[in-house]
Chain A
Amino acid sequence: MDALTVPNGKKGIGGSILRNEDERLLSGRSTFIADISQPGMWEIAFLRSPVAHANILSVTKPEGFEQRVFLLSDLGDIRPIQADSQAKGFRRSDYPALANDRVRFVGEPIAICLGRTRAEAEDLAQAVFVEFEELPAVSDLSQCRDPAYPPIHPGWNDNLFLETHIDVGDVDAARAKAAVSLTRQYRMNRQAIVSLEGRGVMSYIDERTGELVVYSSTQFPHVIRTALAHCLNMQERELRVVAPEVGGSFGVKNNLNPEEIAIAALTKKIRKPIRWVEDRREHLIAAPHAREHRYEVTVHADKDGLILGLEASIDVDAGAYSVWPWTSPMESGMAIGFLPGTYTISNYRATARTCASNKSPMGPYRGVGRPGACFAIERTIEELAVHLGLDPVEVRLRNYVRPDQFPWKSAGGKTYDNGNYAESAIAARDLIKPERLTELRQRYADSDYLIGLGYATYLEQTAHGTAEWVQRGLPVVFGYEQAALQMTPDGMLIIDVPIQNHGQGLETTLAQVANEELGIDPAQVVVRHGDTSMAPYGMGTFASRSMVMSGGAVGCASALLADKLRKIGAHLLQVQDSDVRLEDGFVVANASGGAKISLKEIAVAAFLRPERLPDDVDPGLSVVASYRTSRDTGAWSYGTHAAIVAVDRGTGMVHILDYVIAHDCGTIVNPMIVDGQMMGGLAQGIGTALYEEMPYSAEGQPLASTFMDYLVPGASEMPHTTIEHLCSPSPITRYGIKGMGEGGAIPPPASLCNAVNDAIRSLGASINETPMTPDRVLRALLDAQAGSATA
């Protein structure tokens, strides 16, 4: 990556400071679930279903070990996961903590086995005998409404969770007027969600507080506490949920897991500490999966490439159960809502189907729904440009929502806050330098390499508030965040937040926000998170929300605290409240050469020497504040990616020669961290585009259960990348911040697929499926050859 951002001396918002949390992480000293134990703790292995779809006729526990194997019936009166969408026509699927009478995907937990070591527990799991009556497995989207496959949930008549429709404007008129109507089909295949650390839970009873303590590698401890209380019939106060250091999650730890319920219920029952540390095989097959979208898109346009209307049919395979709290239609709902993208499309007709299958349930993964939607629309735009013989950037420029059109109400039902999409496309074009293509093509003319260039523009709705979640019909509405600030008597600041930091650098960026309001050195700020006993209630980290939401809450709380600090400081300096400011750890009198007093001295007064306080100021320096955005439809980041690739026509291998990103996430709190997030997202986007796939056999067996078969990109697959930051501050958030954690992962499938198609087009070939494995690319080339031979 080009080093665009180096430490710039700023410590507050906009400063590229090093991360507060890195020391413990880089030295390997921090503690993840696998590092945390309790005296007398038992290790758990789950007995998981080896078959995709079957009735369980009987389960026999190994003789002599009956007390160490637990089935659903042993866990007492607990509720299944019920992730019910409010959408009309939604069909529900109860997801039990342990499968009882039926299993619906390979990897579904059936029993908990306890051992002194994990190995012992695994041996025990192998000795449990389960009698299955196998049923036909739904393993492909095409089988969703095929009567040959019985419904996988009771009371259903086919395997459809939900079908939704959008019909705005007048698509028929658009079609009639159009100079060109193009139809294309796209597939984005199923993926696993690979975090370095798998999921894991450790729980025990704290007799002193009377709490069932659940350590879970999760993104949202407070929400898990609410959910567990519901499923276990407990008061929230009887539960404490702690997310310790979380080794990556990307959405896969953003669900209520059946394992969490089962483990908590078992601890409650046997009152012994127990721990489950997911292994890689479990993670790949039994943790929630992502993507698996199919599209048929028709675009209607005039002869200059102006889009007049859009039609789409979208199918998503959501797997066996609806995950809580997102619900199974989340993916298809995002896909249908985001398909119009950055374009002024006002005639839009689409259908989105959420299908059930005997596969691991579909959950959120960095980008959620949008990588698929972006793939479909950005491929289509590029196809339209090619068809009309126009430059793909020019066609985009003709169709982008213009800066004067915001707030823009999209045909997908979203409200975009602001931006300058054209600026990002032009910046990306300037960085990638399309004029290089001629020279590159000449250079490789005598080789097997075909050179291509592709673009993709994306939108990333972030920090969406109440309106968005209500519109989506979710059981929980994530509209706000809280933060609790307390200064210590020695003048340091402790910030307790209910969001989670699992790699995003939030311990640093929230400290930078505090610096902005309080002038306190970020090194003097400690951000604590992930513990329901420490922070006030809040929603956790996901959907690129924490910088905006938690940053907003920390900002609000800091501003309140700043008032008090200024008041005390002014009193101690014997000047008017209005005559002081906070700067570099001091309250400073505005008068030239003004006196100053340190935050530490103020803290001493506030806590230890209250006699020094003004009469109208109470002792103590702590504040809880809550924050929500001024409009709750989300802050919209966006950007344009461009890639140059070389396709080896001999092998179908795709090499990325150059990659550029021009993006806008509003006000940037820490440019270095934003670069890191972009690169991480890009790596995962490249995984989707070229490598990662979770195929299933016709029997519903997952075919990639180790890293030998499931391929994630490594350092050697990362291209040279240049990032340019644009900045349109959001009009609806404190400081104008927009979230940006997912954006990097959204457009790479589209940009790379466009580039590959640009490369192979001269041979009459095309590819519209991810991952673009060499096998698929080569097949596209050979098919084209065969086609032209017979033509």
Chain B
Amino acid sequence: MLGFELSEPATLDEAFDLLADGDPGVRPMGGGTALMLMMKAQIFKPERLVSLRNVGGCFDGLRIDADRSHIRIGGMTTFAEIECSPMVLQHLPAVVRTMKTLANIRVRHVASVGGNLAHADPHLDLPPVWMTHAASIRIVSKTGERVIPVEDLFAGYYETTLEGGELIAEVIVPVRPEWTSTYVKVTTRSAHDWPALGIAVSANLQGRRVNDLRLVLSAALDRPTRLVAAENELRGSDLDEAALKRAGEAAVAEVDIHSDSRGSAAYKQHLLRVHLSRAMHSLVGV
């Protein structure tokens, strides 16, 4: 492995300058857990890594808006901070539950929310969870900032819509007291395996009736994807076997799942039907 430079700027402006030259070998670093793996596998050969650990400001910590409408999570917030936050537990319990089977305690203590999103690996657990919560991200750059829904970040397998020099400053999650959510990490082999499928579901229910919902599929596709057709099957209807069956078929029809070492396409389609239905059932507590 060849040498590289590691810089730890103390301000955001300094970070922008260090990132400025547009060289693919220059990248920001959050916790570095994904970067290290790519470097070890020699998929990525850095010239310079710009660590964001000292830039501070909105990159750090968790807060709730004064009107309690949104929770804001800084891009450098670690998974462990989220997992241990009473505020997140109260308003976004599905996020805390997701952490229990995400990586291991060592990774969770360093991996950052921003790095996790920017990595754009479709197998990651959190992106579909953010999407099902209708979260957005605030992106900052030397020239300004923009806010986009999380789903608009992903452009493909390990690809994002971030322009050179743009950084994920925070994740903004609406507080939705009438909604319940869950995430199912479908490992087809053993508990610590990469998922074959990630299914994040979130719904506003009245008894068995679905007022509104958001369904997201990850891992089996090149990016986490909303299952719009399946949502349409269920929105406004009762959660019964027939509706769930229709939703499952709609889901399978609207996405193009490929085979890999975690299962054949047919197998994963089958899992999608089964787990979508089980996940929706779990929301009603059946």
Residues of A within 8 A of B (CB): 119, 122-123, 650-653, 690-691, 695, 703-704, 708-709, 711, 713-714, 716-717, 773-775, 778-779, 782
Contact A775 B192 (CB under 8 A): no
Q: Which residues of B contact A775 (CB under 8 A)?
A: 188, 263-264, 267
Task: Determine whether the beta carbon of B261 is less than 8 Å from that of A709.
Answer: yes
Measured between alpha carbons, how far is A650 from B186 in the docked complex, in Å? 12
Contact A691 B189, beta carbon cutoff 8 Å? yes
Complex: how many Å from CA A775 to CA B259?
A: 11
B135 to chain A, nearest CB (A): 27
**Known contacts A709-B261, A711-B189, then 14 further A-B pairs from the complex at CB < 8 Å, ordered by chain A residue:** A119-B1, A651-B271, A651-B274, A653-B188, A690-B189, A691-B190, A695-B261, A703-B261, A711-B190, A714-B190, A773-B189, A774-B188, A775-B188, A775-B263
* Cα distance, A697 to B188, chains bound together (Å): 21
12 A-B residue pairs with CB within 8 Å: A123-B1, A653-B188, A704-B261, A709-B261, A711-B189, A713-B190, A716-B190, A716-B191, A774-B189, A775-B264, A775-B267, A778-B270
B191–A714 touching, CB < 8 Å: yes
- Determine the residue in chain A with the shortest Cβ distance to B193: A711
Chain B residues near A717: list those with CB within 8 A. 190-191
Residue of A nearest to B262 (CB): A775
**Also in contact, A779 and B267, with CB within 8 A (given A122-B1, A709-B261):** yes
Asked whether B100 is an interface residue with its Cβ less than 8 Å from the other chain, the reply is: no
Q: In the complex, what's the smallest C-beta–C-beta distance from A49 to chain B, in angstroms?
A: 18
In the assembled complex, the CB of A289 is this many whole angstroms from the nearest CB of chain B, namely 17
- Expressed in whole angstroms, the minimum distance between the Cβ of B6 and any Cβ of chain A is 16
Interface flags, B170-209, vs A, CB<8A=1, else 0: 0000000000000000101111111000000000000000
Q: Could you say which of A651, A695, A709, A775 has the most chain B C-beta atoms within 10 Å of its C-beta?
A: A775
Ranked 7 nearest A-B pairs via Cβ:
A650-B274, A119-B1, A775-B267, A716-B191, A775-B263, A774-B188, A711-B189
Q: How far is the CB of B157 from chain A (nearest CB, A)?
A: 15
In whole Å, how far is B220's beta carbon from the nearest beta carbon of chain A?
Answer: 13
At the interface, yes or no: B278 with Cβ under 8 Å from chain A?
A: yes
Chain B residues within 8 Å of A122, by CB: 1
B192→A716 contact, CB < 8 A? yes
Residues on A with beta carbons closer than 8 Å to the beta carbon of B267: 652, 774-775, 778-779
The answer to the question of B43 belonging to the interface, with a C-beta cut-off of 8 Å to chain A, is: no
Cα–Cα, bound, A652→B274 (Å): 11
Q: Tell me which residues across on chain B come within 8 A of A711, comparing CB atoms.
A: 189-190, 193
Q: Which of B2, B188, B189, B274 has the most A CB atoms < 10 Å from its CB?
A: B189
A774 nearest CB neighbor, chain B only: B188
A123-B2, A775-B188, A779-B267 given; A708·B274 CB < 8 A: no
Distance in angstroms between the alpha carbons of A94 and B1 in the assembled complex: 35
Nearest to A712 among chain B residues (CB) is B190
Least Cβ distance of A611 to chain B in Å?
Answer: 64
Of B2, B192, B261, B271, the residue contacting A714 (CB under 8 A) is B192
CB distance from A463 to the nearest CB of B (A): 34
Residue of A123, A653, A704 ringed by the most chain B CB atoms within 10 A = A653
The closest CB in chain B to the CB of A653 belongs to B188
**Chain A's nearest CB lies how many Å from the CB of B122?**
14
Distance from A549 Cβ to chain B, minimum over Cβ atoms (Å): 36
**In the docked arrangement, what's the CA distance between A708 and B41, Å?**
13
**In the complex, per-residue mask of B1-34: 1 if CB is within 8 Å of any chain A CB, else 0:** 1100000000000000000000000000000000
Which chain B residue shows the least CB distance to A118? Answer: B1
- For A778, the chain B residues whose CB sits under 8 A away are 267, 270
Bound: A636/B261 CA distance, A: 39
- Expressed in whole angstroms, the minimum distance between the Cβ of A770 and any Cβ of chain B is 13
Residues of B near A650 (CB, < 8 A) are 274-275, 278
Shortest beta-carbon distance from A724 to chain B in Å? 27
Specify the chain B residue showing the minimal Cβ separation from A782: B270
* Closest Cβ neighbor of A650 among chain B residues: B274
A652 contact set on B, CB distance < 8 A: 188, 267
Residues of A within 8 A of B263 (CB): 773-775
Which listed residue, B188, B192, B194, B261, touches A651 by the CB 8 Å rule?
Answer: B188
**Bound form: Cα–Cα A703–B259 in Å:** 13
Contacts of B1 in A (CB 8 A): 119, 122-123
Give the residues in chain A near B278, CB-CB below 8 Å. Answer: 650
Residue of A nearest to B188 (CB): A774
CB distance from A687 to the nearest CB of B (A): 9
Give the residues in chain A near B191, CB-CB below 8 Å: 714, 716-717
Closest residue of B by beta carbon distance from A122 = B1
Instruction: Tell me the minimal C-beta distance from A691 to chain B in angstroms.
Output: 6
Considering the complex, give the chain A residue whose CB is closest to the CB of B41.
A706
Looking at the assembled complex, report how far the CB atom of B72 sits from the nearest CB atom of chain A, in whole angstroms: 33
- Complex interface: chain A residues within 8 A of B275 (CB): 650-651
Residue of B nearest to A120 (CB): B1
Nearest B residue to A779 by beta-carbon distance?
B267
Residues in B with CB closer than 8 Å to A653 are 188
Distance in Å: Cβ of B158 to nearest Cβ of chain A: 15
Q: Which of B66-97 contact A (CB under 8 A)?
A: none
Residue of A nearest to B274 (CB): A650
Shortest C-beta distance, B38 to chain A (Å), equals 13
B192 cross-chain contacts in A, Cβ below 8 A: 714, 716
Which chain B residue has the least Cβ–Cβ distance from A776? B267
Contact B194 A708 (CB under 8 A): yes
* Bound CA span A704–B278, Å: 31
Q: How would residues 237 to 268 of chain B score, 1 for a CB under 8 Å from any chain A CB and 0 otherwise?
A: 00000000000000000000000010110010
- Give A657 Cβ to nearest chain B Cβ, in Å: 16
| Chain A nearest Cβ from B217, distance in angstroms | 16
A90 and B274 alpha carbons, distance in the complex (Å) = 52
Task: Give bound CA distance, A651 to B195, whole Å.
Answer: 13
Q: How far is the CA of A653 from the CA of B186 in the complex (A)?
A: 11
Q: Which residue of A123, A650, A713, A717 has the most chain B CB atoms within 10 A of its CB atom?
A: A650
State the CA gap A231–B118 with chains docked (Å): 54
Residues of A near B190 (CB, < 8 A) are 690-691, 711, 713-714, 716-717
A544, chain B: closest CB distance, angstroms: 28
In residues 114-136 of chain B, which contact A (Cβ within 8 Å)? none
- Residues from chain B with a CB closer than 8 A to the CB of A774 are 188-189, 263, 267
Nearest A residue (CB) for B3: A119
Q: Inside 8 A of A691's CB, which chain B residues have their CB?
A: 189-190
Q: Bound state CA distance, A209 and B101, in angstroms?
A: 55
Compute how far the CA of A122 lies from the CA of B1 in the bound complex, rounded to whole angstroms.
7
Enumerate chain A residues within 8 angstroms of B271, measured Cβ to Cβ: 651
C-alpha gap A137/B191 in the complex (Å): 35
CA distance A583 to B244 in the complex (A): 76
Min C-beta distance of A329 to chain B, whole Å: 31
List which B38-66 residues lie within 8 A (CB) of chain A: none
B43 smallest CB distance to A (angstroms): 12
* Closest residue on chain B to residue A281 by CB atoms: B41
Identify the closest chain A residue to B191 (Cβ): A716
Docked CA distance A91–B188 (Å)? 41
Compute how far the CA of A119 lies from the CA of B264 in the bound complex, rounded to whole angstroms. 37
A614 to B133, CA, bound (A): 90
Set of chain A residues within 8 Å of B2, measured between Cβ atoms: 123
Complex: A123 Cα to B2 Cα, angstroms: 8
CB of B273 to closest CB in A, whole Å: 9
Q: How far does the alpha carbon of A773 sit from the alpha carbon of B190 in the complex, in Å?
A: 10
Shortest B103–chain A CB gap in Å is 12
* Alpha-carbon separation in the docked complex, A123 to B42 (Å): 10
Q: Which residue of chain B is the closest to A781 with respect to CB atoms?
A: B270
Measured in the bound complex, the distance between the Cα atoms of B194 and A773 in whole Å is 14
**Distance to closest chain A CB from B278 (angstroms):** 7
Specify the chain B residue showing the minimal Cβ separation from A713: B190
Q: Which residues of B contact A709 (CB under 8 A)?
A: 261
A650, B263: Cα distance in complex, Å: 14
Query: With the chains together, A711 CA to B264 CA distance in Å?
Result: 17
- What is the minimal beta-carbon distance from A756 to any residue of chain B, in angstroms? 15
CB distance from A47 to the nearest CB of B (A): 14
Q: Once the chains are docked, how many angstroms separate the CA of A708 from the CA of B261?
A: 10
In the bound complex, CA of A426 to CA of B166 (Å): 69
B107 to chain A, nearest CB (A): 14
Chain A residues within an 8 Å CB radius of B186: 651
- Chain B residues with CB under 8 Å of A713's CB are 190
